[in-house]
Structure 1
Amino acid sequence: MRLKLVLVDEYQDTNLLQEQIYFKLAEAAACNGGSFTVVGDDDQSLYRFRGATVDLFTNFKERCEKQLKIVPDLINLSKNYRSTCSIVDFCNEFAVLDDDFQGVRVEGKPPIEAARTGDFCDFPVLGMFRDDAETLSKDLAKFIHRVVYGEGFKFRYNGMDYEISCDEIEGSPTDVSILLSSPLEMNAFGSKRFPYYLRNDLMELNQPIPVFNPRGQNLERTWEASVLCGLLLECIDPGCEVQNSIEKLPKSAVHRFDSWRKKANEYIESYPEPHEPFSLGDFVDAWRSRTPKGRKTWKHDVSLLEIAYNLVTWIPQMQDDVEGLVYLEAVTRTMAQTSFFTSFGGEIIFEDELEAKSIKELYWNVFTPLATGAIDVDENLLETLPDNRVNVMSIHQSKGLEFPLVVVDVGADFRTDHHKNTFKRFPVEGGKSCNLEDELRVCSPLESSIRSGKDRAFDDLIRQYFVAFSRPQDVLLLVGINPVKGGYDTKNEHRRIPNVATGWTRDGSWHWPGLRNIVHI
């Protein structure tokens, strides 16, 4: 092997298997007189749930010496060329609030230095807090519109006048990003969340601003995937004959199939009559009405993917809309992958006994995974963001990205100090990721972690919001509802809502009481 140079970025999100691969490559490079370079930031390690272990980065020097017999040189890349001084100072302050967190950071790590040059306005960090998510959404939508298309947003602070407008930041909705712990627009109980209200409020403006949030709904619940899958089911299994013959289909999948079929039939009824002689209804009816005798007239077997691409021509939302294209890719990817490992290769076989068997196989390998939420959109497709849309995304999705204006949701969901949402703001236990790590580490050379699951959960939450707060170039705006900022009253007392994102530390101290360290608008 003639390999001489190995470069690994985002090393803080490396897992043990990846490390062993990198070390083998590094050994080969060293034998050829080459080098091995890793780059990372332990404060931005977010992927414990994928098996990443930040210890591999924080202890990289010792691990490299032990396994490769190489003493690496440490170069601190502490200059930030992205953000203003106010944002850099805010991130530095946040990173050192929690004393217990300092012990798991890289030893001797210097603070970030603001190194941005050129002509720019150094805005203070802002906050927008309202009584409820609906009011917050309406006011935030108006703010975004004024910044991007209107007269700008003006405010006064410390005797200085500021104006956030397209004269100061890039004037496009694409340059605005809304970051949340979860971008889902509905919760598990079907209640509307802040991203749902914001999408609607932005579209109801005099000059509507569309949103790009393909993770706002689970794939199986999106209108586009529902209609396409429902049309496919109506074509290949009219009357649910094959479906009803399958034992042990998950009840949740059957319920979703019924929902899909209903949406598909509603779409067929509402679809406008085309000028051409062959309509969507004609296409589906041609499949529905085929008889056992008629099946033998088909010249060849048909793949489910072929039927899907025919149907998509009648679903413009999956051709012209960027979110629709993301959903289409996920559905068709599931069909294409099925062809590699199934008996019938994702095809419907037009022979008496084989037809039902081939359709059953599609139920199990395509429709059931889609219906039960086992299929997700491709994150790689989200790296190229569309023009003229406000980006709504999870903090994990935003990692590595930057935007002129970043809005971080630090508590639009938190009305009270309820135990069910503590994992999002002030953990009481390690949670699934830490539990999985504990089960696996004991069987690996890493052995058990000396840090409790609860402490690791706090560490991860600090890192998550550090990533969020460090995404903006010009303006950082924290949003939430008022109880997060000022607490709430019960019958007996006034209570606060502990929240890492608003300056609480695991010892129960609130370092930013009332969030008086930011400018409220």
Structure 2
Amino acid sequence: MKKNTSRDVLVYEIIDDYLNQLNSRNVMDYAMLEDKFHEILSERIVESFKNIRVLLIDEYQDTNLLQESIYFKLAEYVKNNNGNITVVGDDDQSLYRFRGATINLFTEYPERINEAMGIIPKTIFLHNNYRSTKSIIDFTNEFIHIDDRYQISRTTNKPDIIPTENTQEGLPVMGMFRNTLEELSTDLTELIYDLKLNHDYHVERHGKKYNLSLKKSNPSITVLTNSPKEIDTYNNKRLPYYIRDSLTYKDENITVFNPRGQSIEKTEIVSLLCGLILQSIDPDSLVENQLDNLPPRTKNTLKTWRKYVMDYVQENDKELLEFDDQVNMKELLEDIEGECLILSSESSENELYFNMLLETIIQTDNAINAEGLLTVKQIFWHILVPIASGAIDIDDDMFDVNLDDNVNIMSIHQSKGLEFDIVIVDVGSDIFSNSSATAFKRFPRKGGSTFNLENYLKDYSKISYDYDKISGLDKEFNDLIRRYFVAYTRARSILILVGLNSMRYGYKGDFQDKINIENVATGWSRDKVWHWDSLNNLLNI
């Protein structure tokens, strides 16, 4: 890295401290596991791989350079056995550039594997769509072709998606736009409720009448948004909050599943679990008061946990285990787990939060305990403080629920690989103007943090940078186009775009009566041409 700058010194210190922490716990992160695997493949013959004849790699568009190197090492075994190597992917669905995925590894795969291994692959385009109606297929094909400069980044000669002989025409792609968030959430909740319960919902356009009911028992529904957070950083309620609140009020039997929508540390189940640990190991706050440099937010969360559990103990006449400075976490968790069972079983989200944190605590305990014991300070710094500060995130692999039964709210990234009968895409429920603060999620003005990181590290990457000829700004636009392509292609039968009327009709400025809001999701290309003017291409309801 470039030396003699304070930034680089800080980066080195952070990385060094991170590595020391991992070494002290005798653990590896995922990238280290990949690197170790690549090292093993490079240094010796792995006997268990000697007979491999078939290698199939899915989601290849999200491959990074290290993963490609691993795949090519495995492919050597297959080649030696005259076997078959197949990679599957869609460059229009590449969403993970922010964690190192490089689209060129997919679009240039034939050249790269030929250069590395002397293999000339056969390209097969799988362009039949077995999921969506013709209306949705036509809409997504149109969307992906709107931006001329985006086409440069796509696989050469890539054909359009086409329906099968049995594909139904289906309902037109719809839009719901209102003047305020409150109006939007009210009308959208009514629509979701009627669709979920198969009530008739009639709309008319140009003299033609449509019934939106699918006449299907329990249709699967998802709301896709850039962020499923229900409360923003300024404590403002967002569309996911209103959907949950209104649907729960209308019918308590309708389950809204949005595990990433809430701050985990503020949920009841986490307050109970962590509060019970807290009161058991430090009932008088003696150790907590000795901890230095706790952020105010963390202190407030610990205080909230204590109050929650003190009220719980009083109401339930519960006696907590007490420990001195040496704590057997397994014994403590066994006592606490029973107290959490009722609350954890009340919703899929509670169960997910509880199981995830329990597993995290157990893994942490296994990594750092000495003869089965932790000190109270260790429990604070390695378990309670990270949770209280919001450092624990949901692992999508822990989603073990039937999404068809719920009204799901999720980010577009979460929806990748999934499909639903009804997909509602939020294209601007929190966008009121052309403010630079919202530009990154609708119409980028600069390269962004991912580009800055790529640019910072590019001199140390082995990737050949024809890719680097694409500006950071163009990469941001390409990422945004792919994100909404993924969103729109999740729908089987009904696709609805929702947002504020400012998305359709613009807003009034100080010196202009109408200022349009540029938004990739609503049909703008990066040359500032609005191809879906006023969104009249939609069946607006």
Which of 234, 257, 262 aligns to 1:189? It is 234
How far does residue 89 in structure 1 lie from its aligned partner after superposition?
A: 0.6
How far does residue 439 in structure 1 lie from its aligned partner after superposition?
A: 2.3
| Residue of structure 2 in register with 1:458 after alignment | 477
CA distance in 1, matches of 2:525, 2:436: 17
Deviates more, 1:302-311 or 1:374-383: 302-311
1:325-354 Cα shifts (integer Å, max 9, x gaps): 111122112211212331437734xxxxxx
Which of 259, 265, 269 aligns to 1:214? It is 259
| Residue of structure 1 in register with 2:127 after alignment | 78
Q: Is 1:371 aligned to residue 380 of structure 2?
A: no
Contact 2:313 2:319 in 1 (8 A): no
Contact 2:223 2:409 in 1 (8 A): yes
Q: Is 1:304 aligned to residue 353 of structure 2?
A: no
Paired AA for residue 402 in structure 1: E
- Three-state SS of the structure 1 residue aligned to 2:444 is coil
CA distance in 2, matches of 1:76, 1:65: 19
Deviates more, 1:225-234 or 1:79-88: 225-234
CA distance in 1, matches of 2:263, 2:298: 14
CA distance in 2, matches of 1:346, 1:452: 53
Aligned length: 488
- Three-state SS of the structure 2 residue aligned to 1:204 is helix
Counterparts in 2 of 1:251 and 1:380: CA distance versus 1, 3 Å: same
Q: Is 1:505 aligned to residue 541 of structure 2?
A: no
Q: Is 1:88 aligned to residue 133 of structure 2?
A: no
| Residue of structure 1 in register with 2:103 after alignment | 54
| Residue of structure 1 in register with 2:69 after alignment | 20
Q: Is 1:282 aligned to residue 318 of structure 2?
A: yes
- Three-state SS of the structure 1 residue aligned to 2:287 is helix
- Three-state SS of the structure 2 residue aligned to 1:462 is helix
Paired AA for residue 237 in structure 2: K
How far does residue 387 in structure 1 lie from its aligned partner after superposition?
A: 5.1
How far does residue 82 in structure 1 lie from its aligned partner after superposition?
A: 0.5
CA distance in 2, matches of 1:413, 1:24: 47
Q: Normalising to structure 2: TM-score of the pair?
A: 0.86
1:466-513 Cα shifts (integer Å, max 9, x gaps): 000000010001100111111111232121111110011111111111
| Residue of structure 1 in register with 2:362 after alignment | 336
Counterparts in 2 of 1:428 and 1:266: CA distance versus 1, 3 Å: farther
| Residue of structure 2 in register with 1:414 after alignment | 431
Paired AA for residue 519 in structure 2: N
- Three-state SS of the structure 2 residue aligned to 1:66 is helix
| Residue of structure 2 in register with 1:403 after alignment | 420
Paired AA for residue 52 in structure 1: A
Superposed counterparts of 1:245-394, under 5 Å: 245-269=290-314, 271=315, 279=316, 281-284=317-320, 287=322, 302-315=327-340, 316-344=342-370, 347-348=373-374, 358-382=375-399, 384-386=401-403, 388-394=405-411
CA distance in 2, matches of 1:103, 1:372: 43
Contact 2:97 2:450 in 1 (8 A): yes
Contact 2:505 2:516 in 1 (8 A): yes
| Residue of structure 2 in register with 1:171 after alignment | 217
- Three-state SS of the structure 2 residue aligned to 1:283 is coil
Counterparts in 2 of 1:379 and 1:282: CA distance versus 1, 3 Å: same
CA distance in 1, matches of 2:469, 2:400: 36
Q: Normalising to structure 1: TM-score of the pair?
A: 0.89
Paired AA for residue 418 in structure 1: S
Structure 2: segments with no counterpart, 5+ residues? 1-49
Counterparts in 2 of 1:130 and 1:203: CA distance versus 1, 3 Å: same
Structure 1: segments with no counterpart, 5+ residues? 272-278, 296-300, 349-357
| Residue of structure 2 in register with 1:225 after alignment | 270
Deviates more, 1:487-496 or 1:339-348: 339-348
| Residue of structure 2 in register with 1:276 after alignment | none
Counterparts in 2 of 1:71 and 1:166: CA distance versus 1, 3 Å: same
- Three-state SS of the structure 2 residue aligned to 1:475 is strand
How far does residue 307 in structure 1 lie from its aligned partner after superposition?
A: 2.4
Deviates more, 1:195-204 or 1:375-384: 375-384
Which of 476, 495, 511 aligns to 1:476? It is 495
Which of 424, 430, 439 aligns to 2:441? It is 424
| Residue of structure 2 in register with 1:274 after alignment | none
Superposed counterparts of 1:234-245, under 5 Å: 234-245=279-290
Which of 123, 144, 151 aligns to 2:171? It is 123
Contact 2:198 2:217 in 1 (8 A): no
How far does residue 417 in structure 1 lie from its aligned partner after superposition?
A: 1.4
Which of 47, 54, 79 aligns to 1:30? It is 79
1:418-443 Cα shifts (integer Å, max 9, x gaps): 11111111111121122222223321
| Residue of structure 1 in register with 2:505 after alignment | 486
How far does residue 116 in structure 1 lie from its aligned partner after superposition?
A: 6.0
Contact 1:5 1:35 in 2 (8 A): yes
- Three-state SS of the structure 2 residue aligned to 1:103 is helix
How far does residue 164 in structure 1 lie from its aligned partner after superposition?
A: 1.9
Counterparts in 2 of 1:443 and 1:383: CA distance versus 1, 3 Å: farther
Contact 1:13 1:52 in 2 (8 A): yes
CA distance in 1, matches of 2:88, 2:222: 26
Which of 182, 195, 203 aligns to 1:155? It is 203
CA distance in 1, matches of 2:144, 2:86: 26
- Three-state SS of the structure 1 residue aligned to 2:399 is helix
Counterparts in 2 of 1:84 and 1:345: CA distance versus 1, 3 Å: farther
How far does residue 267 in structure 1 lie from its aligned partner after superposition?
A: 3.6
Runs of 4+ aligned residues of structure 1 deviating over 4 Å after TM superposition are none
How far does residue 222 in structure 1 lie from its aligned partner after superposition?
A: 2.2
